[in-house]
Amino acid sequence: MIRPDTDNILDIKLEVIVLAAGQGTRMRSELPKVLHPIAGRPMLAHVLETVMGLSSDRLELTRIHAVVGHGAETVRHAVESDVRLRDAPLNWVHQAEQKGTAHAVSQALPDVADDSVVLVTYGDVPLVSLETLNACVQAAGARDAALALVTAEFEDPAQLGRIVRGDDGNISAIVEYADACDRQRAIREINSGILALNSALMKSMVAEIEPQNAQGEYYLTDLIALAVGRNVPVRGLVSDRPSELTGINDRVQLAQAERLYQRQAAEMLMRSGATMADPARVDVRGSVTTGADCFIDVNVVLEGEVRLGSGVRIGPGCVLRNSSLGDGVVVEAHTLVDGAEVSARCTLGPFARIRPGTVLAEEVRIGNFVETKKAVLGRGTKASHLTYLGDATLGEDCNVGAGTVTCNYDGIDKHPTEIGDNVFVGTNSTLVAPIRIGSDAFVAAGSTVTSSVPEGELAVGRGKQRNISGWTRPDRRAGRKDGADSEENA
């Protein structure tokens, strides 16, 4: 990336126009194109979050003008529902008719202050980096004001418009492939469409753009010729990573962008201390932080805000969502951890489901086919298999046997189960809430417990056993043919 001279940079008031009005017919979808997801979030959300990072000591981001058209209300609702965009200084601009990029920009310009720099970017270019946008803004905000245009060099630019530069290195023209000569077609530098310019200049020049095509559309690329005609320098900033400027027009390109995003996300995690069994088989769909010496196995999905301490080990096929895992936590294969706070050295799974509101103290063991929901478990407590703990608080060093269920729902309301320290709950026990079991108590296997158990006592809630002598198995009863298995007797 060509870097502007930092000594030539003025303090900048920045306004950003994000073009997001297109229908995206090649997506073949009722969903507006900019809402198709990359890493579990709409493309537009990625762009807006990147733009929000542009503020710095010498650069003040004042407003983001999101130009929407097709599915405008759906787009607006999706963005305003994104918690990471709550503080975005958004101004929604509706483009009723889609008449080209310059027309879209013209819809937002009346709301733009004359003393600002305007950056134009696109809601369907989700991988563009903060570094690239920042360089573009600074080039436009220098003392020797210029139109700054982000470009890229491709091995095969196909039929994209070519960037033509003059002897001074500035851009002199953008030549469409159909109009280019052989020498110009050999150029590998192309226009990304991302540009920045002083707002007063942009307003003046956009007003001069005329539709000179069969579609009757107003093209923003015409700014280049207008700037050259006014002796305004057009500085091309070549991106180091052409892939960041890829626009998404169909589902194939969407999938390619997803893989690019995931590769970058995996590389960031590995650089921060995580080892991955196969980086191509881990999906990051949120913000993930990791301590040193973590291990992440294949087919793991990380969603929302996920924090991993040092030495965490994640087995294959796990999903972690909006959760924090302390140092040394082990998550065995095919376990879901959702909205949980897990302290150091806990072991979860395999095949466990840890639901929102779960808080696990150090060295808790949650085994196979155990489900927790709004459950708080004290240090060293174990529920090793086939158990449901909902709306429950357990103290330290408890043991919960297989098949135990806390009956927290009576059909109308949820009720709590409170269990003290060092409690033993036998296999196949049913704890009917609301209920309290005191410390050092013991619940006998197979019990249905409906009233509280004092500290240190044994609770037995079984029906009385009867043994019937002379009982005959059904297939040996009188009147039945030996070996018969008729449907009427089955």
List pLDDT tens digits, range 374-412. 999 999 999 999 999 999 999 999 999 999 999 999 999
Q: How confident is the model at residue 471 (pLDDT cuts 50, 70, 90)?
A: confident
Packing angle, helices 199-206 and 222-229, rounded to 10: 110
Q: How confident is the model at residue 487 (pLDDT cuts 50, 70, 90)?
A: very low
Q: Which residues contact 205 (CB under 8 A, 6 or more apart)?
A: 197, 223, 226, 227, 230
List pLDDT tens digits, range 16-70. 999 999 888 999 999 999 999 999 999 999 999 999 999 888 899 999 999 999 9
Among residues 218, 173, 254, 130, the alpha carbon closest in space to that of 119 is found at 130
Among residues 364, 120, 26, the alpha carbon closest in space to that of 354 is found at 364
Q: How confident is the model at residue 346 (pLDDT cuts 50, 70, 90)?
A: very high
Name the helix (H) or strand (E) containing 347: strand 347-348
pLDDT at 8: 55
pLDDT at 480: 53
Counting every residue, how long is the chain? 490
Q: Range with the lowest mean pLDDT among 2-16, 74-88, 275-289, 313-327?
A: 2-16
**Average pLDDT rounded to a whole number, residues 320-348:** 98
- Asked if 47 and 121 touch (Cβ cutoff 8 Å), the reply is yes
- Asked if 351 and 334 touch (Cβ cutoff 8 Å), the reply is yes
- In the chain, % of residues over pLDDT 70: 95
Q: Greater confidence, 92 or 472?
A: 92
Q: Greater confidence, 313 or 141?
A: 313
Domain extents in the chain: 6-245, 251-459
The answer on pLDDT for 277 being more than 80 is yes
pLDDT at 478: 56
Q: Which residues contact 237 (CB under 8 A, 6 or more apart)?
A: 1, 2, 132, 135, 136, 139, 148, 149, 150, 151
**Average pLDDT rounded to a whole number, residues 194-203:** 96
Among residues 251, 206, 241, the alpha carbon closest in space to that of 227 is found at 206
Q: How confident is the model at residue 479 (pLDDT cuts 50, 70, 90)?
A: low
- Which residues are bridge partners to 296 per DSSP? 276, 314
**Average pLDDT rounded to a whole number, residues 123-127:** 97
- Look up 334 and say whether it is catalytic: no
Instruction: For 50-119, give the DSSP string.
Output: HHHTT-BTTEEEEEEEEEE-TTHHHHHHHHHT-GGGTT--EEEEE-SS---HHHHHHHHGGGS-TTSEEE
List pLDDT tens digits, range 209-232. 998 777 788 999 999 999 999 999
Q: Exactly one of 46, 65, 70, 385 is catalytic; name it.
A: 385
The answer on pLDDT for 488 being more than 50 is no
pLDDT at 229: 94
pLDDT at 477: 52
List pLDDT tens digits, range 73-100. 999 999 999 989 999 999 999 999 989 9
pLDDT at 486: 43
**Average pLDDT rounded to a whole number, residues 357-362:** 98
Whether domain 6-245 has CATH 3.20.20.140? no
- Please state whether the predicted TM-score (pTM) of the whole model is above 0.75: yes
Extract the tokens encoding 329.
Answer: 């936590």
- Asked if 251 and 233 touch (Cβ cutoff 8 Å), the reply is no
pLDDT at 159: 83
Residue 53 C-alpha from the chain's centroid: 17
pLDDT at 160: 84
329 CB-contact burial (10 Å; exposed 0-12 / middle 13-18 / buried 19+): buried
Extract the tokens encoding 486.
Answer: 């008729």
SS (H, E, C) 180-245: CCHHHHCCCEEEEEEEEEEHHHHHHHHCCCCCCCCCCCCCCCHHHHHHHHCCCCEEEEECCCHHHH
Give CA separation, 245 vs 128, 242, 255, 280, 370, in Å: 6, 6, 15, 22, 46
List pLDDT tens digits, range 239-259. 989 999 999 999 999 999 999
pLDDT at 352: 98
Name the helix (H) or strand (E) containing 256: helix 251-271
CA separation for the pair 239, 135 (Å, rounded): 10
Pairing mode of beta strands 336-338, 353-354 = parallel
- Asked if 282 and 302 touch (Cβ cutoff 8 Å), the reply is yes
List pLDDT tens digits, range 438-465. 999 999 999 999 999 999 999 999 988 8
- Asked if 212 and 99 touch (Cβ cutoff 8 Å), the reply is no
List pLDDT tens digits, range 159-177. 888 999 999 999 999 988 8
Q: How confident is the model at residue 490 (pLDDT cuts 50, 70, 90)?
A: very low
The answer on pLDDT for 7 being more than 60 is no
Among residues 246, 244, 196, the alpha carbon closest in space to that of 220 is found at 196
Tell the CATH superfamily of the 251-459 domain: Hexapeptide repeat proteins (2.160.10.10)
**Average pLDDT rounded to a whole number, residues 348-353:** 98
pLDDT at 129: 96
- In the chain, % of residues over pLDDT 90: 83
- Asked if 53 and 14 touch (Cβ cutoff 8 Å), the reply is no
Backbone angles phi, psi at 8, to 5 degrees: -100, 10
The three-state secondary structure class of 390 is strand
Q: How many CB atoms are closer than 10 A to CB 314?
A: 29
Percentages (nearest 5) of helix, strand, coil residues in the chain: 20, 35, 45
Q: Which residues contact 69 (CB under 8 A, 6 or more apart)?
A: 21, 22, 23, 94, 95, 96, 97, 98, 104
Q: How many CB atoms are closer than 10 A to CB 146?
A: 21
The mean predicted confidence, pLDDT, of the chain is 93
